[in-house]
Structure 1
């Protein structure tokens, strides 16, 4: 509502309205020659305020999310990260098409979590819901909605991701021997797989390696970048902890030197460019079959798990493994490889009991 007051300089009008949170907001202007002019101004302001409020209330959830991503995320995140935001866009489109954001209730959002939880594992659910929660908080800050409908809801993840398959020590040796017998410098991809066996490095980290990253005297590899399959260029790792120097054995370095004559600064560059994930996995499955190893769910990243399993079996300290993998702290390593750690803990417990029995 508006109130009017006659001043020496003319009429003054004050428009008072409460926002969605009940907070009183006022707009004032003075200097009108007549009270009628002040009334006309007040009517215009009240109409504009109501119009903006109604426009906000008519905002579709999907439209607001896209606007939020374009404004706050796209300018600063890497192209590969945008894949995650596009995936969330598709989820919102599939589950909230045509739904206004202020019409969504906590119950609606919980039902959404119940649905997607049937098809995704816990980690995937977190990846999807994190941007949604951040977007909803932004909508509250923009006065588009009043309450956070994601609060006091529970993630559902009836779909449980299987533990990643890993190779036994004998299988690791068999795979390495099979690859060694097939190595040809004109085909760098087998060398990529061979490097993963000995280092536990991620595919992007291996693909980005240059000869300058290897210290043949100290027998170390410096990992300072990762190859993006989206932008087709080397970029800095997402976290500072991913920048690291790892020790390797002379045998691996001797094998990699076979690629030196290819004449590229990038160690694993092929005739068709950088090794693609699909081509690497096809090659890996071929080597597994040739080695007589039947692991239907085994893929390139499983080599990282196998590397950890091997180091654990040899009694390597978890802290050293964590640093080698480029994890921020041991908690991440312990969580990611909990199933392996539990397995080796059980074996250690058996050794402890045996040792106690001998007292």
Structure 2
């Protein structure tokens, strides 16, 4: 049930509900010019209550991101993945400081991505924005924010830093294969690895951990069940 109170020339609205533990919670907002404006906000909160999308919490944006990825994203992940989330956390700290998540606007987030894009390539910009967007979507489901301020953002990037990959054509691959086979001996392990890539399309990390048990000479097949974990310098599941 909503409660309204006039303080001076402004109105204050309060809604309450009970959480999963049966504890009564309150959400308050003040500064409304009219009672009808306060009532409109309260009605929106009542709808949010029915959809379980209301919260009396308003964490700092960067802190929420840190708690989010530590809880849902990095357990069991590689060091490289963990470092990527930690790097984004530092970015949010540097750019938004102690700003609470409810105070982040689409405009302020756009400024952040504009600045970030000046120094990073397209793939990095898209991955970073995608990670933050997923976090904010979860914040919406928890009732911390009403809109996803990462939506409809114009992403830009640094073209000069982008690397253009040029692939070998068929004739160049045949020339490379011929060069690798010339005077090859069992001690030329790197040559055999490159030939395996050409013949099978396997990744270097998958080839690095192959054993004789993985090769079926009778049926001319190779079983891929593991790959090299470069982050931890160990063999891991593929």
Q: Residue deviations 1:8-65, cap 9 Å, x none? A: xxxxxxx784467522999xxxxxxxxxxxxxxxxxxxxxxxxx94xx43x3222111
Write 1 or 2 for the structure with the bigger share of helix: 1
- 1:69-148 aligned at under 5 Å gives the runs 69-148=69-148
- C-alpha change, 1:188 and 1:25, in structure 2 (3 Å) is closer
**Contact map agreement 2:140 2:146 (CA 8 A) in 1:** yes
Any unmatched runs of 5+ in structure 2? Answer: 4-23, 30-43, 50-54
Q: Secondary structure at the match of 1:23?
A: helix
Q: Give the structure 1 partner of residue 166 of structure 2.
A: 165
- 1:18–1:24 CA contact under 8 A, matched in 2: no
Deviations 1:153-200, CA, capped at 9 Å, x for gaps: 232245284541122344323333433347554453333223222222
Task: Mark the CA change 1:17 to 1:203 in structure 2 (over 3 Å): closer, same or farther.
Answer: same
C-alpha deviations, 1:103-138, integer Å up to 9, x for none? 211001112222233343433322212221121122
Task: Confirm or deny: 8 A CA contact 2:74 2:81 kept in the other structure.
Answer: no
Query: Structure 1 residues 234, 153: closer, same or farther in 2, change over 3 A?
Result: same
State the SS of the aligned residue for 1:127.
helix
Contact 1:139 1:145 (8 Å CA) reproduced: yes
Question: In structure 2, do the counterparts of structure 1 residues 145 and 168 end up closer, same or farther at CA, with 3 Å as the change threshold?
Answer: closer
Q: Which residue of 2 aligns with 1:63?
A: 63
1:183 and 1:86 mapped to 2: Cα distance?
46
Cα distance, 1:80 vs structure 2: 4.2
Max Rg structure? 1
Quote the RMSD (CA, aligned, Å).
Answer: 3.4
Between the aligned partners of 1:165 and 1:183, the Cα distance in structure 2 is 27
Q: Supply the distance in 2 between the matched residues of 1:189 and 1:16 (Cα, whole angstroms).
A: 65
Distance 1:182 1:135, change over 3 A: farther
Secondary structure of 1:234's aligned partner = strand
Give the 3-state SS of the residue equivalent to 2:235 in structure 1. strand
Alignment coverage as a number of residue pairs: 197
Q: Whole-Å Cα distance in 2 between the matches of residues 147 and 169 of structure 1?
A: 50
Does structure 2 retain, via aligned residues, the 8 Å contact 1:60–1:98? yes
